[in-house]
């Protein structure tokens, strides 16, 4: 009998993952919070504004009822944006999830608590961390939906759980690697979105390849600095959830975070940009939480700081670039 998997969240990534799991033989229920979006998905079996090239199979059960979505589920796959995950899970408060395995897909850090998504899940649902994993890495929904080869990493404290995550997600074009560094994988996947906004800003300003190469390298350095200070493994940031996701998100036409940065670099206001977007750019709120984490742990994160100043204190992007370049000279490798 096929395993029942509840996919909570029908944004572009939730849609792509629901289709992937269905293709792999799972019994998939897909929950969409927004009633008009739910009705559109039921009528069209697709959502042109989110992932226009993907049509959902009839075997995927689409619902607007979260209680029904999780009924008898062996797995919960959480595709809700990071700043909304807690409120979505609050709808399931008091429900017993003993024996249910959870996979987080969101890449963000809760701004109000500075919690990672695995921490939000365990606190809100009262489940043991051994039942929670995070799937991360360079994985644009548009390319997964198009069946293009993709490699990601699943992380968590339970090697058995991670092996099962690999089993249910992996197929001929979607390959899942394993990691025991949940902290590092979650931080890498979240913080690279800040650097992707910076990458967009440099593109919007018309700066060159030299600038982009420097930005990605130094961005990875500051992400690693914070991660290691918080207890993550340095090698994690050289992997798929670190440099892999960083390069992809900073360079891709599919990247919502780079898109936001490009618009800002061209002189548009953040509020106007976000108002015109259908999907969530996680890096905007992660710039707040990343900036707060840097201050909390006393870690120097100059790019994160400048992105924060541009987004929330109206600092001119060109001035931010100038301030980064004019910093005190130092050795390249952080000790």
- pLDDT one-digit tens code per residue, 14-52: 999 999 999 999 999 999 999 999 999 999 999 988 998
Rounded alpha-carbon distances, angstroms, from residue 59 to 3, 8, 62: 13, 17, 9
Write the DSSP assignment of 48-67 as a string of letters: HHHHTT----TTSEEES-HH
Structure tokens that stand for 149 in this block: 């080869």
Provide the 8-state DSSP code for 3.
P
Are the C-beta atoms of residues 8 and 69 closer than 8 Å to each other?
yes
Domain borders along the chain are 4-180, 183-325
Q: Is the pLDDT of residue 335 over 80?
A: no
Q: Residue 334: pLDDT band by 50, 70, 90 thresholds?
A: low
Structure tokens that stand for 271 in this block: 């509020």
Residue 192 a catalytic site member: yes
Q: Residue 254: pLDDT band by 50, 70, 90 thresholds?
A: very high
Are the C-beta atoms of residues 131 and 102 closer than 8 Å to each other?
yes
- pLDDT one-digit tens code per residue, 91-113: 998 899 999 999 999 999 999 99
CATH of 4-180 among 1.10.443.10, 3.30.70.20, 3.40.50.720, 3.40.190.100? 3.40.50.720
Percent of the chain with pLDDT over 70: 99
Task: Select which of 160, 192, 253, 269 is catalytic.
Answer: 192
Provide the 8-state DSSP code for 109.
B
Mean of the pLDDT values across residues 156-183? Answer: 98
CATH of 183-325 among 3.30.70.270, 2.60.40.290, 1.10.1040.10, 2.60.40.420? 1.10.1040.10
Rounded CA separation 335/322 (Å): 26
pTM over 0.85: yes
Other C-beta atoms lying within 10 Å of the C-beta of residue 313? 7
At residue 323, the pLDDT reads 98
Q: Is 4-180's fold the same as 183-325's?
A: no
């Amino acid at each position: 009998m096929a395993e029942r998997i509840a996919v909570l969240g029908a944004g572009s990534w939730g849609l792509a993952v629901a289709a992937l799991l269905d293709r792999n033989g799972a019994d998939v229920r897909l929950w969409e919070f927004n009633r008009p979006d739910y009705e559109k998905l039921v009528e069209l079996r697709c959502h042109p504004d989110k992932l226009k090239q993907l049509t959902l199979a009839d075997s995927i059960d689409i619902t607007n009822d979260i209680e029904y979505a999780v009924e008898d589920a062996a797995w919960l796959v959480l595709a809700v944006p990071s700043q909304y995950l807690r409120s979505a899970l609050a709808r399931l408060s008091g429900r017993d999830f003993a024996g249910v395995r959870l996979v987080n897909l969101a890449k963000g850090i809760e701004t109000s608590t500075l919690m990672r998504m695995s921490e939000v899940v365990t606190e809100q649902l009262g489940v043991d961390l051994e039942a929670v994993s995070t799937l991360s890495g360079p994985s644009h929904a548009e390319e997964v939906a198009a069946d293009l080869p993709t490699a990601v990493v699943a992380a968590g404290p339970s090697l058995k759980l991670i092996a099962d995550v690999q089993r249910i997600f992996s197929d001929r074009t979607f390959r899942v690697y394993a990691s025991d560094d949940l902290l590092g994988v979650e931080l890498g996947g979240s913080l690279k979105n800040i650097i992707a906004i910076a990458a967009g800003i440099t593109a919007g300003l018309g700066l060159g390849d030299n600038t982009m190469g420097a930005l990605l390298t130094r961005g990875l350095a500051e992400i690693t600095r914070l991660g290691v200070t918080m207890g993550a493994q340095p090698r994690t940031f050289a992997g798929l959830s670190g440099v892999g996701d960083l390069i992809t998100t900073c360079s891709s036409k599919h990247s919502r975070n780079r898109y936001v940065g490009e618009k800002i670099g061209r002189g548009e206001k953040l509020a106007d940009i976000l108002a015109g977007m259908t999907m969530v750019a996680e890096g905007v709120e992660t710039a707040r939480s990343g900036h707060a984490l840097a201050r909390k742990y006393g870690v120097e994160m100059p790019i994160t700081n400048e992105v924060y100043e541009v987004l929330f204190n109206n600092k001119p992007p060109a001035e931010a670039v100038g301030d980064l370049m004019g910093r005190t000279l130092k050795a390249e490798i952080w000790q």
